[in-house]
A and B are shown apart, each in its own frame.
Chain A
Amino acid sequence: MSSQITRRRFNAALAGAGLAAALAPFGIVRAQARKVRIGVILPRSGYLGFLGQSCQKGADLAPAVIKDMLGVDIELMNADFESNVDTARTRAERLIQEGANVLIGAFDSGASAAIAQVAEQRGIPFVVNIAAAPQITEQGYKFTVRNFPTSVDLVRNGLALIGDLFQATNTAPRSAVFMHVNDTFGQANAKAIAALMPRLTQLPFKIVETIAYDPAAKDLTVEVSKAKATNADFLLNVCRVQDSIILRREMVKQRWQPMGIIGPGNPGMYEEQYYKALGKLSEYSISNVPWYHPKADITRAVEKQFLKQNPKDKPMYHALNVGFTFESILIIADAFKRAKTADPKALNDAIHQTDIKNRMMLGGPIKFNAKGQVEGIASACIQNLNLRPTVVLPANAAEAKPVFPVPGYKKA
């Protein structure tokens, strides 16, 4: 077959190219208006694997719920960054190359910062679902927004809720012993608490002693006996799930019965494993964390879809992860509906104009400030009641009244 270009061939090719060029814009508009392609980058394996999979459940249920809510079609493009920052960067590049109009992720601050740089270079909007490092929205990025409180806000909200708890229960503990894990997360929290406590003058208590411990510790006998010896009114505990179980058991063993255990913004005590391992001993532990509004219509829709897709699981154990991941996709769908196009630049402009009042998580409307940060995301006071995490504060979202001081072990 001859590869020579004849006049006839050239004319045919020219006509074909002209037709394609003429029709292309319509094709693009039609294709773009139909659905938005969202690249979901989460750590579904590696040391953050469990949490990444929990977030993924929020992403997986979003297309069905949002289709009902907004009539928007969503195509998810999932990527696992294996809890590795290098992989997060290359996965982001890959998703953009495969045609993602927008990215969400990444649960981890380091990975989110790496993805934000790629998004910025490629002009693709990036919605951070969970990552607390304040600097992510302090870099002057034009394409990165975050619907999650910063680490400082998390602790500030958690500590403020302790004051609300004392007010709601007419109590005024004077002292607390502060125990925290000595990993990166625990150290960051301890520093934030040390910086914030002197400024929160409405809190009636003082921290009488701070005890750091290894999150992988198999025995906390010494730490608990040291804490008990302080005679503090309650235990302020920044923990993770494994150590919180060991700590609670040790408290029972040593018959230490403070007025309560309060986590000022950390996971651990509302997680499924905590209930399963401790049974009734898990009761009354308190965690002040961002949570979904249990009475919101959107929460019911999400819970229904969650149970449909995960019949053996319970949404309350994934509240934070599912809630914020779902809301990230909701932000994009809402922007897509207004922009009427999946063009990344138009979508980015629309995302920055977001004003969603009917939301799932507690707090004010989803509205980004000039830096791309949602302000006013609230925390809830979650107390373990009847072997489930129950919202007890703020009052407008409460499912039950808070119990503080907590009853003795035998009554539990």
Chain B
Amino acid sequence: MRRATAGLALLAALLAVLPAFARGYALSVATLILYFAYTGQAWNVMMGFAGQLSLGHSLYVGVGAYAAGALFFHYGIGPWAGLWVAILLCVALGLLVGFLAFRFGISGVYFALLTIAFAEFTRIGFDHLDWIGGPAGMFLRVAQRDTWDLANFRGPPVMYYYAMLFLTAGAFALCSFLLKSKAGYYWLAIRENEEAAQALGINTFAWKMLAVAVSSAMTAVAGVFFAFYYNNLFPEQIFHISRSIEIILGPIIGGIGTLFGPILGAAVLTLLSDGITELLGALGWELPGIKQVFYGIVLLIVIVFLPHGIWPGLARKLRLDR
């Protein structure tokens, strides 16, 4: 464990000083990695810890983004106040999905389908909401800034990088705490064998609802970040199932249920994606779609040879699990 703590401290230090060396493109990629690491961590609470497969996490990103974005756009209410509204809305939505599923015994792939359905009909609903721009999108006012305006969450790219770094570190700490808490042990019990957990007296309904609430609240925060980083929101893009898939790919590749898996997975996938683009560019291969073919092949190889993700095996090799 001492090796793992030292490794983690080294990584945190490296990430903290990264903007001193990286600008523009590298910083943008690093922010993207941290964004997917954070959302992956949030999803991991539901699937990795409590064993509830959600394929509709774009719902919480979208609702969180639109809630804070719309308050800022229409009333000038800053993101810090909007954040709480976003969290409340997403937790309420999450609890509704959870209640419908867990109360009526919907689980496994059927639960996954329910999460997709919620994301889809929210997308369609938002397409018809003129207040938030409907299908034409909602654009937050932006201006070129060199100084940090934390009150309105406006500033240069480095500010967004540090915000995402702070969120990712916070999510890591929270998940680490949760895993070692009573909730964490109950979630793992539910994940491994729900009937057995129930037989032992665990209120599986309540603990699963808690997992959904924590996960949706965390994802809502990512949505608020998304709104103020990109400054334009379209229902078609933000609620799309491909967004949900992007969120879950990191933890799947990194290692579901592990703390470091989502971070490693997000880094591997983003760097792999950009690395393949660079490599193909260097080779002069400009065939559209060829990158996706290579990307798919690499993912296939990882899943076939490392079915539990990269992190568990790597941690063993580096003796970080001791």
B156 x A93 contact (CB < 8 A):
no
Which listed residue, A45, A90, A118, A151, touches B274 by the CB 8 Å rule? A90
Taking the closest CB of chain B, its distance from the CB of A203, in whole angstroms, is 23
Taking the closest CB of chain B, its distance from the CB of A392, in whole angstroms, is 30
Does A221 sit within 8 A of B, measured CB to CB? no
How long is the Cα–Cα vector from A86 to B24 in the complex, in angstroms? 14
Does B29 sit within 8 A of A, measured CB to CB? yes
Known: A44-B288, A139-B141, A191-B134. A183 touches B236 (CB 8 A): yes
Known: A90-B32, A184-B235. A85 touches B230 (CB 8 A): yes
Known: A133-B136, A188-B134, A191-B134. A45 touches B292 (CB 8 A): yes
Q: Which residue of B lies closest to A187 (CB)?
A: B135
Query: Interface residues of A: mostly helix, strand, loop or mixed?
Result: helix
Interchain pairs with CB closer than 8 A, number: 96
Does A228 sit within 8 A of B, measured CB to CB? no
Does B237 sit within 8 A of A, measured CB to CB? yes
Contacts of A135 in B (CB 8 A): 137, 139, 232
Known: A80-B291, A85-B237. A109 touches B144 (CB 8 A): no
Does A380 sit within 8 A of B, measured CB to CB? no
Does A366 sit within 8 A of B, measured CB to CB? no
Most buried by A among B157, B232, B234: B232
Which listed residue, B28, B135, B141, B274, touches A89 by the CB 8 Å rule? B28
Of residues 37 through 58 on chain A, the ones whose CB sits less than 8 Å from some CB of chain B are 44-45, 49, 52-53
A187 x B127 contact (CB < 8 A):
yes
Q: For this complex, into which size category does the number of interface residues on chain A fall?
A: 35 or more
Which listed residue, A78, A122, A140, A187, touches B134 by the CB 8 Å rule? A187
Q: For this complex, into which size category does the number of interface residues on chain B fall?
A: 35 or more
Q: Which residue of B lies closest to A189 (CB)?
A: B135
How long is the Cα–Cα vector from A85 to B230 in the complex, in angstroms? 9
A78 x B286 contact (CB < 8 A):
yes
B24 x A184 contact (CB < 8 A):
no
How long is the Cα–Cα vector from A120 to B141 in the complex, in angstroms? 13
Does A272 sit within 8 A of B, measured CB to CB? no
Taking the closest CB of chain A, its distance from the CB of B138, in whole angstroms, is 9
Question: What residues make up the interface of B, taking CB atoms closer than 8 Å to A?
Answer: 24-25, 27-29, 32, 127-128, 130, 134-137, 139, 141-144, 156-157, 230-232, 234-237, 273-274, 277, 286, 288-289, 291-292
Question: What residues make up the interface of A, taking CB atoms closer than 8 Å to B?
Answer: 44-45, 49, 52-53, 78, 80, 82, 85-87, 89-90, 93-94, 96-97, 109-110, 113-114, 117-118, 120-122, 133, 135-136, 138-140, 142, 151, 183-185, 187-188, 191
Sample of 9 more A-B contacts, CB < 8 Å, known A80-B277, A90-B25, A184-B236: A44-B289, A53-B288, A90-B28, A110-B230, A117-B230, A121-B156, A142-B144, A184-B127, A191-B130
Name 22 interchain pairs, CB-CB below 8 A, sorted by A: A44-B289, A45-B292, A78-B286, A80-B277, A85-B237, A89-B28, A90-B28, A90-B274, A93-B24, A93-B29, A96-B24, A97-B24, A113-B231, A113-B232, A120-B144, A122-B24, A133-B136, A135-B137, A184-B135, A184-B235, A188-B136, A191-B135
